[in-house]
Each structure stands twice: as C-alpha cells, then as structure tokens.
Chain A
C-alpha cells in the first residue's frame, strides 16, 4: 500500500500514530513492511490457506462477535441435506461434473434459490418450460457474481434457521467443520508461515475486534489476480463478518484499486456482462422480455426488488420517447450474450479471425495483459484497430517494432491490420468525474484546451456516434428492411448533448446529469428511491442517482476537509446516496444503539424517529429497529428493521454463498494454476472450476508432483513500483519517473542469486513455457526464501511496467504469464506463477524460440498439461473453441 497507494497510506500511518497495530502480509518486504509493526512473508498464491487459518482460529477459539453473527449474517441458516463439503469429497463440493458445478445442492433448506437466465437450460429440465415461477436475469455463469459490486445474488423464500447456531447443518456449523482443517500447521505447509508467527497475527486480530474495536483489511490485485481470486475475497469477508468488522467505522475489506476511475468503469461498466449500476446484460433466451428478465428480482427482498424501475429508467435515458410501455421500453434493443465475451475470449476470437474491428482506449494490452504475445497475435489479425492514448504505446506500434517483428517471426508487410492512432486529451484538458476506490465521484475541471488533434474520449464517442447516425440517416433509402430495423436503435438513441467551444466538445456536466436522472418534468432526481417503472423517470445509472441532486454537480463540491466533520460528506459525492460506509446500519446493534460509544457511527434516534449519525444512514431513514414487515411485502419494504445488508435478498451478509458463485459456496485452498507444490489440504490440486485455454500460444506448466514440474522450480509474482504506473503508458514517457526507476529488473534473494550464479545489477533471463525475458538483477534481503512443505522455496518479484517504447524500456513481465482465469469474474492469475531464472541476457530471433522450446520439451509440456479440472480426470472438452453457453473450463 505504501508503494502503490502512498497517499492513501498516510491514513494507515495516522492510525498507527493513534495506537493501531499494522500487520503486513506479503511475499515481498516493501515500504509497507518497513512501516508495519509486523511483517509476515508468505508464499504467493497461498492466502486462502492463511485466511482459512485465521477463520479457524476465530471459530475454534470462540472469538467471534456472537450478536453480530447471529443477527446480521446467514450463520443460523440451515443448508439442505444434499450439500456435501470438501471435507468429504477430498477438495470438491457436491455437484461437480464435467468441469463445473451444478450448484443446486448448495441451497438452504426450505428456500428456493433463484435460478438464472444463464442456467436456464438446466433449470428448464428441473422445473419445466415455464419453471416454478419466472426466470431471472441474475446469476449467469458468465457474469452473475459481479452483481456483488452492488449487492449479491437473489433467493426467495424463508429458509429454516437456528439462532442457537447448533443445528449440524446450519451455516455456522458447516463453516466450523470446513475450516477445522486449516490449523497453524497446515498454514505453515501451504504458506511457509511458522505457527508461532501465525498465532501472533491471529491473536492481534481477535484482540482488536469486537464491540469496542474494529480491524480493517486492505488488499489489491495480489488477492484478485488468481484462479480463485473471488474466493480470496470471500475468505476475507467471512473472517471480517465473524469478527463484526463490516459496516462499522475502522472496519471493512478495502479494495485498493489501481486506476483513477476503475471503480467508475465498473459502476458504469465498459464491461461485457453488465449494464450501468450492476444490472446484468441479458442472455439470449427464448421468451426473454422485460417482465421475465426482472421477474425474480421483483419478487425478492431488498433494494434489488426495484430492479424494474432501475432498468426502465435506463432504457428511457437511452431511447427517450421511443421507449414506451407498449414496446417493453425498447428492452429488445439490448444485445444478447451467449456465454463469455470477456477480453481473453475476444482476443482468442481475434486470432481465430472472428473479430474484425477493435477500439483500444487508454489501455496497453500489447504489454499490459497476461500472455502479451497472444494479445499481439490478436492485434495482428484484425481488419482495423483504433488506439487512443497520450503517447505512442506498444499497442499502436506492434506492427512496426513489436517483439515478433524484432525477432524476425513476422514483418510489417505481412500484417494486414489498418491502424488509426488518435491522440487523447489529458485530465487537465477536459471536464469529468473519476470515481475513486471509496466509490466517491470527484469532478475535475478543464484547465486548458487540448492541442491540435488531441481530443477527449467524450468528444470522440459523441462525434463518432453523430457521424455514424448521419451516414445511416442519409442511407436509409438504400438500406434493406432488416438493416433499417437495426438502425433504429442507433437513430432513436438520445444523443443530443449540448456542445461548446471551437472543437465542439460535448458538455460533460450534461452527460453526468443524464446519468443522475430526471423526472417527467425534466428536473434532476435526488435519490434512486424516486425511480419509477412506468417510464416517468430517466436515469443512466441508478446507483449514481443523486450526484446531480438539486441541479447541482455534487461531485464538484470541494468544501475543505478542515471545515467539516471527519466523514467530510461535503467533499465530492459517494454512491449510493453519498454514503461513505455502506451497510452502516451494522454499526448499531439490532435495537439501533451503537455497539459501543467508541465505535458509534449511525444509530436510531427514538425521539426524532429516524436513523442519524456521522454518515448518511444506509437504511430506510424512518424504519425503526423493531420493524416487522408485512409477510406479503417485497423489495425494501420486506426488510426488517434489524437487517442491515439492504442489497442482499435476505438482508444478511453471507458467510456461506448458497448461490451466485461457480466454484464453491465456501473458499477452499487450491494451488495456483502453476505451482511447485502439491496441495497440502486436498487431493484436488487446482481450482476445479477455473477457466483454462489450452492453445498453442498458451501452454501451461506441470505442477507439484507432475512430471517436469522441477523445470520451473521458482515462484514469481508481479508487482508495481511507486515510480511507475500499470503497463507504463502514463509513466515510461516521463523524464522524472524514468529517472527514478530507470530499468526493468527482477528482485530476488541472495540465496537464489547464489543458487543460480546471478550478480547484482547484472542480467538475468526469466523463462516460462510462454516466453523468456531479460532484466537487471536486484538482489535484496527483501525477498526471502521460505520453508514450505519441508523444502526451501524461492520467490522472484517482477515489476510489470516495462515494454519496448518510451524513455525507459525493457521486456514486459506479461510475456511470461499464461492465461488461466477465475471462473466467476474471468480475471487471470498474474500473482503466482512458476519459472526458471538463469544468468545473462536472453537470446534473440530463432535462438529465443529454441530456448523456450527446449524448456517446453524438458518439462514434457503438451496441450493437455495443467488443463484437467481435477487431476487424473480428463477435461470434458478437448478443443478450445467452445464459444457457446455453459460453464466448461474453456469458456
């Protein structure tokens, strides 16, 4: 955190100054470790084992926050008899078949978990064509879990519960049995953390949690870039919920995100599986219409119960008066998904000639994405490519001087891609909002005009839309009836933004106002509770409703922090409803009183008859703590006064996920896709539901005891430096930053340097089955060998900022990585891989190919290596071109 989010880290130091204990758990000793009270090095890729150990410590030692757990989590819920845990199946949960899980056996007893559009085919088999009720747009195998960005998946019915937590099939008891295996000794075998040190961490965490104290976890992509990344976060969530550390000040699991508006681009998603505000993109299904899409949500409890209002208001924002109740508010104009359309799938489709045009906007996949060679293969097989960036990044120049050209594998003359490079405007040259990692929107004002051809992306997309529309409008006479029909959704799109200045720049504030939403009188709305499903309101992103309340750009508020309370509610605007801590009703006990005076945050004021406190209460402000809803109620009205998790369909936080995840209702430790070790916990080596893509350009290594594993004996993990940013597009061209961190390097221990005859500041070549890259050697004691499973394990840290262009150049770390994904969110594993390292620079041309081939052959690598879901069980599909629906691993 001190390295990659240094200014955010000042608050950690502030906490330390006030007596907080800082514990840093990381494969590398960094500036964060230097400032921490305790540094715990662990093996990259073993965090679920570590967190599982902490969960076991809390459960077996009875250290959990009982009142919180009983009232605010699903600990008392009773799970159906069909569920079988990994304890009884040696690492699999019940329902595993053909490379994926049928999750129906994970459900609660007495409740019907909502099926999804994506699972509809099987759902039809189980329940018949119409189903017991209606299908839903939720929980698709390809994207449903991302709904967790604003609330979890949905279920209906009232499950059986046992508030005493003694029923053998209640979530609490299942948790206890599941994590009993995660003892300090097992933690040591998987993580290389010695039991005494582990206990110190566990005891410190427990001592600092409860009514009087809270602990927080901060993480970044070191937790998410894994083949079980979602389960890493689940493990932390379980731990924090057991300790009562969610929805309370000083608590939480804090994602330290890495780009200025990466949160915003998830909320208003440039992502394939979502519409604005975490509404799923519809999947292709017969008889899918607005009613069937929202039906299950409408029946559910919590704020997702109003999904119809959110979606209709979005469709009204997009198609205006053309969206009416009679035409389903233009719901049919939304394109339909069929399976995974994530970027890795798309790039493989580019290689296979299925994608012709590609826009790359402020991103640099030619060096910034895992298996960069595969990315460039995709770029080289397009008809046309548009790159918009500040500098001449590698994604724009791959055809001219990319590694394949440099190595003589191809020539510019052989690459048919037509490339448009359009220079972008910088943040100082445009108005707009970024959403930071706390969900806070902050407006940045234009300071100067962009020069020459430099334009904002707002300008580009606005004018591209105008140009496409005017061309289509002119050509309507010559278009076929079918073409005219599909043109309507473009020609009738609301696209009339005011513009200003010589370059005809669209007004960003007008766009933000459309995102905020308006009522029938075209007045800006103030809260999403005003949204209606009858078409009388328009709103581009329901969770952002209120950012333009009172016709004021709330995101532009800059009242000095020193002039307001510590929650600083008048600086910027945080979604939803300007709340700074979500689910903050959990900071009060079921009766509405703060759990302790020290940790008071929001509470029920019986005299005023409302919730009040330091923040905007994340609860119906007038609903008393003892409120019991009408049994017939749905949506927010169905929530009790004591149920804080208002986006959840049961008002409770989930220790156990009866639905919504594709790789298990509980986290279990699996080894990374590539690991020198065998799984110490279960017979199953890797996440059995992970996504793998066996292709010639994407081979995997053998692991553990598999033949050839020793050819790649070292673990590597990629990381960021303070002085550079992501793949370097915004840092490698800057003189100051290039001077501060002037060369690509690998960081490793003196012991490994001795083992491989590497010299400090000399050259090393790092090799995987995908690539060999060269880097300067940085030998430090910050990297330390671990004792794991009775052997010494070496780890190598590799920064991923470099590429061939810019002021400071070097090989890209992403060349080394294979593509293996978490099945829930299609995020790749970059934080734990295996490699070899040797002294000297890498060869070039045909010699480079020969070196890699030699390693592949010594390791006995074939297209089948590392791809079976469960070792010894063949993969259900032998090819990699499956593009249809389903959840097979090659999707």
Chain B
C-alpha cells in the first residue's frame, strides 16, 4: 500500500528542469484525444473519458484515484520500475536510521525511496531523506581535489595522488617536529599535539575505526567529532 502510494508519487515527479504543470498535461492529453476522435461515437467515448465525468459517474467520487488518470499518466513509467538495479541503504541525515532503496540506471542513482520493509521507518522519509537523491547527484558536489597554497588568493588544481602524497609528507613532518616522548619528569607521553582532527558523526563506523586506529598509532590525540559539539 505504501509502496503503491510512493510509486504514484514517483509517477508525478519529473526530472529537474522538465517540470510540466498539471494543466499543461491535461491539455496535451485532450489534444491527443481530439486528434484521434473522428466520429461522434468516438467523440462521445472521449467525453466519457474526461476526468470530471468519470469522477461524477464512477466509483472514484473524490477524483483522487482512477478518475484522474489520463492516457499519458498510464503511459508514464516510474523511475523505480526502469532501474537497472536497486540496493538497500540507510538515510545519511539524522540518527533515526530510516531505510532507503537506491535505484540505479546507467551507472547513476536515478531514484531514492523509503524502504517499506524497515521496522524503523516503514517506508517513510522526511523532506531531507526524500531529497537525498539531489544530495548525491547535485551538480554543486565537488568532484576534483582543490588546493590553496599558503597566502594564495585562489584555488588551484591538484591531482589526487599528489594531494595524498603531500598530506602524508606533512603528517610525517609535523609528527616529527612536534613529538612529545615524555613529560619533564619522565612520564611517558608518546604523542603529538601538533595534529588534530574533527568529524566522524556523518561517517561510517568502519571509517571512524580506521581514523581512530591510524591517529592513535600516529600518536595524535586531539581527535574529536560532532558528538561533543
């Protein structure tokens, strides 16, 4: 039932930039109908297909179901039905943990829906979760490394491997230059306070684990995330 509702919502949705008003759709459907009508009988049949007639004469008196459907509506396909694959996922926003289904077509995310199987969310998503397709496909998302040199006034290009190499060099150098083996009275410290880190609550457990493990082995201790702030 929920899945049906969501499918209907998906049918009504349009890719960005191709938004078509409901009136416009109705007008198009009617013009198609006119072209095909070549006799009174057929015209009458078309008349009877008008939503308002079907609403008044059929079982769908509120006009929110079958009566409102046009040929065009019936010809629409949900992005979910045309997907090449679907995988189970979890919403990346708050900590309720609503389940998502990620639909993929031609190697790109084509739709994200709530997963009705979830005992937590029962298929529902809030406005943010429902917008998460736009989160992952947004043209504003950065795809390339950007580099700003000290005192620089603009971004520069840098390839990923060079960036990784430069960061590794800076970690090693900073660690060496700020290493604290012990306090003045000889108590072991085995650390650096020259390297700090912030962030983790939006990441996966596996990512947090590698972060904490690597930082601890480096001797970095100022490791923090959103749980504190």
Contacts and interface: CB of A to CB of B under 8 A. Distances in A.
Nearest to A819: B229
B211 interface: yes
B113 to A, nearest CB: 12
A463 B151 contact: no
A346 B222 contact: yes
B227 A265 contact: yes
A287 B58 CA distance: 86
A355 B196 contact: yes
Interface stretch (B30-38, B47-55, B119-127): B119-127
B90 interface: yes
B46 interface: no
B73 to A, nearest CB: 23
5 contacts: A262-B226, A269-B223, A272-B221, A332-B188, A467-B165
Contacts of B143: 423, 451-454
B99 A558 contact: yes
Contacts of B125: 7
Contacts of A446: 87
Contacts of B136: 426-429
A388 B185 CA distance: 39
Interface stretch (A181-189, A198-206, A620-628, A735-743): A735-743
Contacts of B16: 735
Interface string A360-388: 11110100111000000000000110101
B88 to A, nearest CB: 5
Interface string A426-465: 1111101111111011111111110111111110111111
Given A420-B147, A737-B128, A272 B87 contact: no
Nearest to B119: A561
Contacts of B93: 259-260, 725, 730
B126 A418 contact: no
A357 B194 contact: yes
Interface in A147-175: none
B interface, size bucket? 35 or more
A288 B205 CA distance: 30
B20 interface: no
Interface stretch (B4-12, B62-70, B74-82, B166-174): B166-174
A77 interface: no
B217 interface: yes
Interface string B179-197: 1010101111111111111
Contacts of A389: 142
B168 A467 contact: yes
B135 interface: yes
Contact of A357 (B102, B119, B152, B174): B174
Given A335-B216, A461-B210, A482-B181, A436 B95 contact: yes
Contact of B206 (A256, A365, A511): A511
A879 B124 CA distance: 53
A369 to B, nearest CB: 5
Given A420-B147, A465-B210, A723 B107 contact: no
B57 to A, nearest CB: 36
B127 A432 contact: no
Contact of A284 (B147, B154, B188): B188
Given A438-B97, A734-B131, A359 B138 contact: no
Nearest to B177: A356
Contacts of A426: 92, 135-136, 141
Given A265-B225, A391-B142, A413-B151, A433 B97 contact: no
A268 B212 contact: yes
A341 interface: yes
B186 to A, nearest CB: 7
A306 interface: no
Interface in B136-170: 136, 138, 140-155, 158-160, 163-170
Contact of B97 (A265, A360, A442, A506): A442
Given A6-B127, A390-B142, 15 more contacts: A258-B94, A258-B95, A356-B174, A357-B171, A360-B197, A399-B148, A428-B112, A432-B207, A447-B85, A447-B109, A458-B210, A460-B164, A486-B190, A726-B226, A737-B128
Contacts of B170: 357, 383-384, 418
Contact of B135 (A443, A454, A564, A734): A734
Contacts of A571: 117-120
A355 B195 CA distance: 6
A588 interface: no
A13 to B, nearest CB: 11
A266 interface: yes
Contact of B204 (A416, A438, A458, A489): A458
Contacts of B189: 284, 335-336, 338
B143 to A, nearest CB: 4
A442 B127 contact: no
A383 B142 CA distance: 24
Nearest to B152: A412
Contact of A363 (B179, B183, B193, B225): B225
Contacts of A452: 143-144
B178 interface: yes
Contacts of B104: 447-448
B96 A437 contact: yes
A540 interface: yes
Nearest to B134: A734
A79 to B, nearest CB: 31
Q: Is the interface of B mostly helix, strand, loop or mixed?
A: mixed
A421 B148 CA distance: 8
A680 interface: no
A361 B199 contact: yes
B28 interface: no
A341 B222 CA distance: 5
B127 A437 contact: no
B193 A284 contact: no
A390 B141 contact: yes
A737 B195 contact: no
Nearest to B129: A7
Interface in A554-610: 556, 558-562, 564, 568, 571-572
Given A428-B89, A452-B143, A256 B95 contact: yes
B95 A265 contact: no
Given A288-B188, A355-B195, A355-B196, A423 B206 contact: no
Contact of B214 (A423, A432, A465): A465
A437 B95 CA distance: 5
B126 A722 contact: yes
Contacts of B224: 270-272, 342-343, 346
Contacts of B107: 448-449
A336 B207 contact: no
Interface stretch (A821-829, A848-856, A868-876): A821-829
Contacts of B186: 286
B92 A260 contact: yes
Nearest to B227: A266
Interface in A765-813: 806-807
Nearest to A388: B199
B152 to A, nearest CB: 7
Chain B CB count within 10 A is highest, among A369, A465, A572, for: A465
A423 B146 CA distance: 9
Contacts of B131: 731, 734, 736-737
A338 B208 CA distance: 23
B27 interface: no
B102 to A, nearest CB: 4
Contact of A436 (B120, B198, B214, B223): B120
B145 A453 contact: yes
Given A399-B148, A428-B89, A512 B134 contact: no
Nearest to A259: B201
Interface string A723-756: 1111000110111110010000000000000000
Chain A CB count within 10 A is highest, among B151, B167, B204, B216, for: B204
A740 B127 CA distance: 9
Interface string A519-541: 00000000000000000000011
A614 interface: no
